[in-house]
A and B are shown apart, each in its own frame.
Chain A
Amino acid sequence: MTKNIFLACGLAGVVALSAIPVAAHHSFGAEYDANQPVTLTGVVTKIEWTNPHSFIYMDVTDKSGKVANWKFEGYGPGVLYRNGWKKDVTMKLGDHITIFGWRARDGSNWAHSREITLADGKKMMFGPPAGTGDGGNTPAVDVR
C-alpha cells in the first residue's frame, strides 16, 4: 500500500514535470516531422557521443533482406549521462536495439530518436520529445 501511495505521488510529480521548459539548441520542427513517428529495430553500427547532439547509426533489415543504415539524433552526452547513460557500457556496437522517434522531413533514412529499447529490454530516453525547440504552438507575441 505504501509503495502504491508513493507510486501515485511519483506519477503526480511526473505530471507536474510537464511545465518544465527544456533547452532547445535547435529546431525539431524544421528538420523532423512530428506526424511521422517511426519505430525501427536493428543493429548499432556507430555511436557519435558528441555535443550538441549525439547520433546513433543503425543497420535496419527489411522483409526482403535489404539492409539500410539509419541515422538517429539525440541528446548531448552531458544530458545522456545525467539520464543514466554510460558511454560504451549502456549500448555498444553490434547491439540489437529498437528506436522510437520521428522521421526527417526529407524522407531519407534519418530520424530524431526519443525512446530506445536496449538489447536487454530496458527502455531509456535518448532524445527530447517531438516539437522541442521549434517555437511551440503559440508565438511569444499575439498575432494581430
Chain B
Amino acid sequence: MIRTFYFLLAIGLVCSAPVLFAQSKSDFPRGPDGKPDLTGVWQGGSTVRGSWDEANGGLGVGGSGRNPNAPATPASNDRPAGREAAPYQEWAAKKVLESFNKRGIDDPTSLCLPPGVPRAVMLGLYPQKIIQTPKEILILYEYMNVFRTIPLNAKHPDDLLPSYMGDSIGHWEGDTLVVDIIGFNDKTWLAGTGTFHSEDLHITERYTRVDKDQINYEVTMVDPKVFTKPWTLRSTIMLREGTRLEEYVCAENNVDPANYEQLLKAGVKIGR
C-alpha cells in the first residue's frame, strides 16, 4: 500500500515537474513598456502545454472518435460540462433552445459568417495570432480569417457601424490586458448553440499571461435585452510555438446549408 503511494507520488512529480518549473519561472517576454508581451500563435479552449502536435496528441483535435457511443467532444457551440446555464430571459432561453433542438442548422458560421466574440477566442480547432505593440494589439483568427484591432488607452469611435467582431479598445490593469468591446451587430452566437444577443451587447475581456505557455481568459457579456444578469466564462489560451496560421476561405466549397435543405426536402428528420 505504502509502496503504491510512493510510486504514484513519484509518477505525479515526474509528470508535473515540467509544468511546475514553467509556472515558477514566469519567463514570458515583456514589451518596452514593461507589460507582458502576448505576441505569438495561441490555441484557445485548451489546457495542454506544448507544441500543436504535443498538445493535440497527433489524433487531430477532439479525441479518438473510435467509440461512436462515447460522448462528443464539446465544440465551440456546445455547453461544456459543469458550465452554468447562460442567464437568458425566459423568452430568449426558448429561442436558444429552438436552435439546440434544430441541432444548430441556423448557426451563422454555417453560412461562413464571422464567429464573433468570445466564440473566435475560445474555439480550439484553429489557432489565433496576437501581435502586440505598445500602442495597439492585433489578433488574427485563422477561423473565418477575421481579425481584431485593439488600440490601447483609446476611446470607442462615436459613429460605430454595427459589426460581427465589434469595436475593441484595451488598457492594462497591472499585468492584465482588459479589452472593452461594443458596436456588435446581432448576427453572431456567443458560446453555445443558439446563444444569440442584441446590438446592445457589451463585452469585457481580461487576458492574464500567467507564464510562458498560458493566458488566463475571462469574458463577461452584458446584454440587458436578452440576459437577466452578466454572463461570465473563463478558459485558458495556450502558446503554440512553431504553429502558423493557414488560409481559411470558407465560401470555397460550403455545401452544408444545401445539404440541410436537401435532407429536409427528402423528409429526413435532422432535428432532435
**Interface residues of A, Cβ cutoff 8 Å to B:** 5, 8-10, 12-14, 16-31, 34-35, 37, 48, 50-53, 55, 75-79, 81-84, 100, 102, 105-106, 114-115, 125, 127-144
Contact = CB atoms under 8 A, between A and B. Distances in A.
B88 interface: yes
Contacts of A26: 107, 109-110, 256-257
Interface residues of B, number: 89
B54 interface: yes
B14 interface: yes
Interface of B: 11, 14-15, 44-48, 50, 52-66, 68, 70-81, 85-86, 88, 90, 93, 96-97, 99-100, 102-105, 107, 109-110, 112, 115, 122-126, 142-143, 191-195, 243, 246-257, 259-260, 262-263, 266, 268-271
Contacts of A23: 75-76, 115, 123-126, 143
B75 A21 contact: yes
A135 B271 CA distance: 11
Contact of B60 (A34, A125, A140, A142): A125
B259 A31 contact: yes
The B contact surface, by secondary structure, is loop
Task: Report the 6 A-B pairs with minimum CB-CB distance, sorted nearest first.
Answer: A131-B72, A140-B192, A136-B78, A78-B246, A125-B60, A129-B65
Contact of A140 (B100, B102, B122, B249): B100
A79 B107 contact: no
Contact of B193 (A22, A50, A106, A140): A140
Nearest to A38: B68
Given A19-B47, A31-B260, A75 B60 contact: yes
Contacts of B248: 51-52, 76, 78
Contacts of A129: 62-65, 70, 72-73
